[in-house]
Amino acid sequence: MSDPVLSVRDLRVEFHTRRGVLKAIDGVSFDIGKGEVLGVVGESGAGKSVTGSAVIGLIDPPGRIAGGEILLSGQRVDNLPPEEMRKVRGKRIGMIFQDPLTSLNPLYKISEQLIETITTHTDLSPTQARRRAVDLLAEVGIPAPEKRIDSYPHEFSGGMRQRVVIALALCAEPELIIADEPTTALDVSVQAQIITLLKRLGREHGTAIMLVTHDMGVIAETADRVAVMYAGRIAEIGPVHDVVQNPLHPYAEGLMGAIPTLAGEDARLVQIPGSMPRLNRIPPGCAFNPRCGYRFGRCTVDRPDPLPWRGHRVACHLYDAASGPHFLGEGKTLAAAKKPEEAA
């Protein structure tokens, strides 16, 4: 990928508490290109939303960015003073939150909120800003935008409010949009409309999109690439079709196996045993090893580094030649990996 819009390198986020330092993000790296949608998926507590908050500069004490770099179009932004970061946030980076009511002030009309955002981040006059606001509402599919622009948030349905939030995120034509669970609270039919809208706007505006979600269906329909996160690290990242159809990491395999299909009632869904570890109880070695059906001795001692494998990057000892007999060479799949009882 040449000249990515967003480049995250070895990002680490910590929270200082009475119980010690909790590592919420521990060495995350990825890029997002112009017009590309990167899906970030994983269970609750994997670190998806914290990663997005770090990129947009919304990590508040007791949290802090403890290391790494975040570059937006080549400019480092993670070390900017708060006042400078406020200029980046909203203008160069847009944000779409899970609940649109957290982004919209119920006391102000939609017109006031859109116009204020546009005039803050552009040189347009209030009259020009109103015209642009109407155009944006039309672009995101709000019917009769000339009339609806003067409505209050409570006069819109959930799906329409989410469209307004997307219009707000697009006000200053940002280079990057972070969409944090943008379809979770919506009906299935409205979800499909919002997904189609995000894809179209990303392509037409050339905007890079970081889509944070736990819904693999949304990822499969929307993203170009997908990063599977677990316990604050990226377990696997690669083209979305390849990861969905042929996951390499055991955790990614479990997530894909838990998606219902049309194969019939006899097709059993995969259940990943256990749960995501707490930040103060992350096990040594691979954080996924207590739940992994392919673990062997090295998994409980050494933390795996992401390795290139068939166009993906996967953090698993099965793909490291140093693992000896457990190494999955070319042509082998997870099905060929030894189970715990076989590795004894």
The pLDDT tens digits for 115-142 are 999 999 889 999 999 999 999 999 888 9
pLDDT number for residue 125: 94
DSSP lists the bridge partners of residue 16 as 21
Average pLDDT over residues 215-223: 84
Query: Mean of the per-residue pLDDT values for the chain?
Result: 89
The fold of the 6-229 domain, in CATH, is Rossmann fold (3.40.50)
pLDDT number for residue 56: 94
Furthest CA-CA distance within the chain: 74
Least confident among 211-215, 256-260, 306-310, 323-327: 256-260
pLDDT number for residue 185: 66
Query: Cα separation of 156 and 79, whole Å?
Result: 38
Per-residue pLDDT band for 2 (boundaries 50, 70, 90) equals low
Instruction: Indicate the residue type of 297.
Output: G
Report yes or no: 227 and 41 within 8 Å, Cβ to Cβ: yes
Q: Which residue has the higher pLDDT, 325 or 316?
A: 316
pLDDT number for residue 344: 39
- Has residue 79 got a pLDDT over 50? yes
Who's near 208: CB < 8 A, 6+ residues apart?
Answer: 4, 5, 6, 32, 33, 34, 35, 36, 38, 175, 176, 177, 202
- Has residue 343 got a pLDDT over 60? no
Average pLDDT over residues 248-260: 88
Which residue ranges make up each domain of the chain? 6-229, 244-343
Q: ∠ at Cα 177 (25, 53), nearest 5°? A: 30
Average pLDDT over residues 234-263: 89
pLDDT above 70 covers a percentage of the chain that reads 95
pTM: 0.89
- Has residue 194 got a pLDDT over 90? no
pLDDT number for residue 342: 45
Residues 265-318 pLDDT 10s? 666 777 889 999 999 899 999 999 999 999 999 999 999 999 999 889 999 999
Residues 14-63 pLDDT 10s? 999 988 899 999 999 999 999 999 999 999 899 999 999 999 999 999 99
Q: Which residue has the tokens 């409980």?
A: 300
Average pLDDT over residues 317-340: 82
- Has residue 1 got a pLDDT over 60? no
Average pLDDT over residues 215-235: 91
